[in-house]
Chains A and B, each alone.
Chain A
């Protein structure tokens, strides 16, 4: 599902069919730029049929060619729009396919406890027959028939069909992990689910509808852009239409000149009008929203995507967004007479068969510090950087899993017995203290200072003598520091909110370069934080999954809700992340920016093109009246007719040439505003000035080579 649905041949054909159907003026009138092109095409067609209309003097072939080129401009524009819309629709369809109807086990008596459900307690019904409020029983191997809330039991669920994420997730009654999605599979255990949606109205259905609506509706900025382009169109209509009368004025004193050619004036008008950006606006919008969907984020409106590009501040949760929620070894501290080497070795040995995250991170850190680059298991904490090198032999010889002493609730320690009988134990400081007979005096002070720094100390003892402390710290998500640095380069401020104490919060904030953090933060205060930042005039983005996040999600300018979260959160947010990965909001910001930038860059390109078109077309159109004007034609084109046709070819062909760019979005990497402006101004501004000169000259040379219009 997370892979892109590429457009297949059928859709390609459908797009072409659509681009012809969309010539319907009732459709085109919604895009004023294209509507004017269509009117112009109609007049050119009229001239092809009756060349003598308006006392025109050109040949039928010439007018016919102008008509065809103008029509192609519309065709390409329609195609760009249809193609993008179909791509969006294809994506929505692929989401819809997830919703397979299955059989459901509807409980006869909803009060029976989940452990006691037997075959007699439910009836097997068709999934489509379920109604809102029905209670169904789902056990290992079953597919959850419809969206619902877990009301009893807990189960691990494979949601890869929706999220593409292969790791199963836990869904249980009570708390923030109660919601289950229809179409996902229960891997183990059993749950009772209350169906929360009617057939065809599941959460995903609603989301898909929203996405489809959103792709059809113009975003607020696009409305402003449409006004701008319509205004420019009106301006050019006036500037060119009046030329016809000015031509009549010329005819009064230039002998042999009877007036300007209407078809050529239409060619000038359409060349000057911002047809390129006018044709691609819809494609840019749909593509932007599709890009969001491809990241497995469902945006409920285009407005939200645009707003994401404009965020000033992100409020990030610590756990889940910046850290994984696990703790990993950060350092080893020897105590008493023990040496660094002894502590590292003992910690390593005691954890070799410890499969907990902490255990694996201790092994990894010890290996890194001892410079034995055997780090094969990079799953955990690849971000762990050894604070120093300790030259030690880790001593794995003779260790076996049999001698591993797993963690028990009674001793609150784990460890290993070496072949020579040495007992190594590690555990919480007070547990080890209780077990040990010899406790160095500095144990308390060192462990307290670790706690004060937001870390967790684990004591290590060898034969009942405490020899050192392992310092555990929050595990950072891989790459999170880079992403935060990137988003700061874009000018977005990052705020971290966490329920942890000040020290822990500060440590994490310092590690990843967070701008501001709030420690000992109550989730219910989030709404106030959002409002506070908004009062500074800033646009705020945040993520959330719990019911008590819902008000803040609704208040934030961009609220990205986690799919794994509660329905209240999902309804409050204006985006939902199917992967439930809170740090994805950073990517969404990038996509929003890219959407706006593509629109801006292609507008600049389109407008800059006009300079060349003036210089090519004005001398061509006025060639009969003012041969001296050829001095303006810096390209020295072969004939006026060739100039007009070459310009129209460029004008039409540039649209399909730019479709891939409009769909893909312009290249974007995190840069400051000034750098971006400078770069895009050179590429799209200067490029827009030069490109048409080059293309038109090339087409003209081609005509010379082919011997047409000569």
Chain B
């Protein structure tokens, strides 16, 4: 079977991820070196990055010329925030228009209909916010929609996230200067230097493994082994899949997402795509250390979140390599060999371990692509997925992930500094109530925006009618959907009949609240910190490069972040875990 050595797969995956995070992290640090106002120096073995500068610069200036962007026009935090909102509003309107009117647009090879008002609202919101939650099946979009609406959004929304990072680095590198850089120029730079090259590389690898790539046809008729004829939707699979995974997007062309052979053909492609998720987000945490002139601090942060990621993945693998109690041979008289683990709705070419690592990678980042059906996971596995959400997706999304993590880091610095008798500061900038209120708003926001709708959905038929498996599992289905939307993840536990006006409107609104409120709070923090003086960090200051800081950070994330969701999780996966299989089956 496909799953001989869970431990080996685990070790290889995290080993490769660690190396790639370092290399790509140095690269990303180089990309935004000047925009972050950093006194960055390239390690000698990466000096060749500089040779790429010429061609990138030419592409960027061409784009600046065409769009009229003036990279020298610097923005304060309010202008920066406004630019984010305006830019994203334009993407939203374009997405909504294309989705609503796609039946009348070209390249509609198989004659799909336009989306309903509420589904288009949800889809446009979901793809504008880098969430990619889908209340439709990928097959109901035209090739035009995939290529020119979804595909473009998949580049521009992670670029929005990327553009926030150098602005936030300015908060610490600026001395009494509130200007954070030019948002549009940062978007272009991130797209040209970070998103396009890696997406291209991944797309080429995917094609080498057998992914399709076309915009000239929408459907393939195949003669199947059972002598039937099957119509399979095709499109720009390789390209969309590549940026889908590299840009923490997650919305696939096929409803079955990366479980299908056109999106993810082989175990090797699966490894590449799985690695893309943590590498594209964790690299920013490493780059942070470079931007602020403290590589070791970056390593400590990567280590803290990497440890959490590894622990959750371990729990996920433990869950999925175990047996599914619903298929227990003795209890149900079924004859299912579960020796390799819970294989229900998993691809044999990935196996339980490959599926579990993917599952935790997609929920520990805000990717949201899936290669197995999460609703078929065991209670333990599902719990690990929901815990990753509870920590706001651990490393979160491209760009925004770094900022979200820094909220916890600043909270840790606040408490840590007090513990050693200093007024709180982080990287030489004093943290006062003006910043702390926004830090806490950003931290508090996820439970607030998730739990209140969850409470309503639990007691309202609008919510419960969508459930496929009543009981604990049904609770998890709803909670997963709300968390996924608010944290801008996009994956689903599925099983939820969620294409209703209620779910479309609530989830769509959540995606936007979950994205823009924290971003504005974070920009406000950046604006306020950038105006401050830099205090030197002497002997008596909090050492943010020490193991003690790492442990405190993990404690803060676990207790203030994750455990807030513990009461809710009791009604879902924990309840399911401790109630045994009976209730699961009755449901």
Q: How far is the CA of A538 from the CA of B428 in the complex (A)?
A: 10
Do B535 and A539 have beta carbons less than 8 Å apart? yes
Chain A 534-559 against B: per-residue CB contact (8 Å), 1 yes, 0 no? 00111100000000000000000000
Query: In the assembly, what is the distance between CA of A537 and CA of B455, in Å?
Result: 49
With A239-B565, A242-B451 known to touch, is A231 a contact of B440 (CB < 8 Å)?
yes
B454 CB–A CB distance under 8 Å: yes
With A232-B560, A246-B571, A312-B535 already in contact, the answer to whether A592 and B552 are too (CB < 8 A) is no
A601 touches B565 (CB 8 A): no
Stretch at the interface among A335-343, A437-445, A678-686: A678-686
Q: Which residue of A lies closest to B555 (CB)?
A: A685
The stretch of A191-199, A293-301, A450-458, A489-497 in contact with B is A489-497
**Cβ-closest chain A residue relative to B587:** A253
- Alpha-carbon separation in the docked complex, A611 to B559 (Å): 7
Q: B534 — nearest CB in chain A belongs to which residue? A: A537
| Contacts of B400-452 to chain A: CB distance below 8 A | 411, 414-424, 428, 431-433, 436-437, 440-441, 443-444, 447-448, 451-452
Report the separation of the CA atoms of residues A670 and B503 in the bound assembly, to the nearest whole angstrom. 58
- Does A677 contact B552, Cβ atoms closer than 8 Å? yes
The answer to whether A228 and B417 touch across the interface, beta carbons within 8 angstroms, is no
Residues of B contacting A597 in the complex (Cβ-Cβ under 8 angstroms): 418-421
Say yes or no for A223: interface residue by CB 8 A criterion. yes
A253/B471 contact (C-beta < 8 A), A227-B436, A312-B535 known = yes
Which of B210-218, B266-274, B300-308, B540-548 forms part of the interface with chain A?
B540-548
A238 to B567, CA, bound (A): 11
By the criterion CB–CB under 8 Å, are A594 and B416 in contact? no
In the complex, whether B293 has a CB less than 8 A from a CB of chain A is no
For chain B, the bracket of interface size reads 35 or more
A685 to nearest B CB, angstroms?
A: 6
Q: How far is A309 from B575 in the complex, measured between Cα atoms in Å?
A: 48
Verify if A307 is at the interface (C-beta below 8 Å from B). yes
Q: Measured between alpha carbons, how far is A626 from B565 in the docked complex, in Å? A: 18
Q: Report the Cα distance A680→B418, complex, angstroms.
A: 10
CB pair A600–B431 under 8 Å, yes or no, is no
Contacts of B414 in A (CB 8 A): 224, 228
- Flag the segment in B3-11, B246-254, B360-368, B578-586 that touches A: B578-586
What residues on B are CB-neighbors of A536 within 8 Å? 536
How far apart are B431's CB and chain A's nearest CB, in angstroms?
A: 7
Contacts of B447 in A (CB 8 A): 235, 238-239
With A236-B564, A628-B579, A677-B542 known as contacts, the answer to whether A224 contacts B436 (CB < 8 A) is yes
**Which residues from A are CB-within-8-Å of B423?**
221, 306-307, 309-310, 596
Q: Taking the nearest CB of chain B, how far is it from the CB of A432, in angstroms?
A: 49
A220 to chain B: closest residue by CB: B432
> What number of A-B contacts does a CB cutoff of 8 Å give?
218
Please indicate the chain A residues that have their CB under 8 angstroms from the CB of B580 in the complex. 628
Contact between B536 and A312, CB atoms less than 8 A apart: yes
Per-residue B-contact encoding for A7-24, CB less than 8 Å = 1, 0 else: 000000000000000000
Interface residues of A in 214-257 (CB under 8 A from B): 220-221, 223-225, 227-228, 231-232, 234-236, 238-250, 252-254
Q: How far is the CA of A603 from the CA of B560 in the complex (A)?
A: 12
B470 adjacent to chain A (CB < 8 Å): yes
From known contacts A310-B423, A629-B578, infer whether A537 and B567 are also in contact, taking CB-CB under 8 Å.
Answer: no
Q: Which of A241-283 contact B (CB under 8 A)?
A: 241-250, 252-254, 268
- Bound CA span A676–B411, Å: 18
Residues of chain A within 8 A (CB-CB) of B454 are 242, 246
- The answer to whether the Cβ of A464 comes within 8 Å of any Cβ in the partner chain is no
**Minimum distance in angstroms from A255 CB to a CB of chain B:** 10
Asked whether B422 lies within 8 Å of A309 as measured between CB atoms, the reply is yes
In whole angstroms, what is the CA distance A225 to B437 when docked? 10
Known: A246-B475, A249-B571. A680 touches B539 (CB 8 A): no
Q: CA of A241 to CA of B575 in the docked complex: distance in angstroms?
A: 18
B109 CB–A CB distance under 8 Å: no
B75 within 8 A of A: no
Q: Hey, which chain A residues are within 8 Å of B471, CB to CB?
A: 253
- The A-contacting residues of B in range 514-559, CB under 8 angstroms, are 533-536, 538-543, 546, 548-549, 551-552, 555, 559
- Does any Cβ of B come within 8 Å of A673's Cβ? yes
Does the CB pair B459–A626 fall under 8 Å? no
Q: Is A604 at the interface (CB under 8 A from chain B)?
A: yes
A665 to chain B, nearest CB (A): 10
A698 at the interface (CB under 8 A from B): no
Does A526 sit at the interface, judged by CB under 8 A?
no
Smallest beta-carbon distance B437→chain A, Å: 5
In the bound complex, CA of A227 to CA of B424 (Å): 14
> CA of A597 to CA of B420 in the docked complex: distance in angstroms?
6
Q: Are B422 and A673 in contact (CB under 8 A)?
A: yes
Listed by A's residue number, 17 A-B pairs whose Cβ atoms lie within 8 Å are: A221-B418, A239-B565, A239-B567, A242-B455, A250-B575, A491-B539, A492-B538, A537-B536, A593-B422, A596-B423, A597-B418, A607-B415, A618-B566, A668-B421, A673-B422, A681-B548, A685-B551
On B, residues with C-beta under 8 Å from A are: 411, 414-424, 428, 431-433, 436-437, 440-441, 443-444, 447-448, 451-452, 454-456, 458-459, 464, 470-471, 475, 533-536, 538-543, 546, 548-549, 551-552, 555, 559-560, 563-568, 570-571, 574-575, 578-580, 583, 586-587
**7 smallest beta-carbon distances between A and B, as pairs:** A491-B540, A600-B418, A593-B421, A491-B539, A231-B440, A628-B578, A249-B458
What would 16 more interface pairs be, CB under 8 Å, given A538-B535, A593-B422? Answer: A244-B455, A245-B458, A246-B454, A246-B475, A309-B423, A310-B423, A493-B538, A594-B421, A596-B418, A599-B418, A600-B417, A600-B418, A632-B578, A673-B420, A681-B551, A685-B552
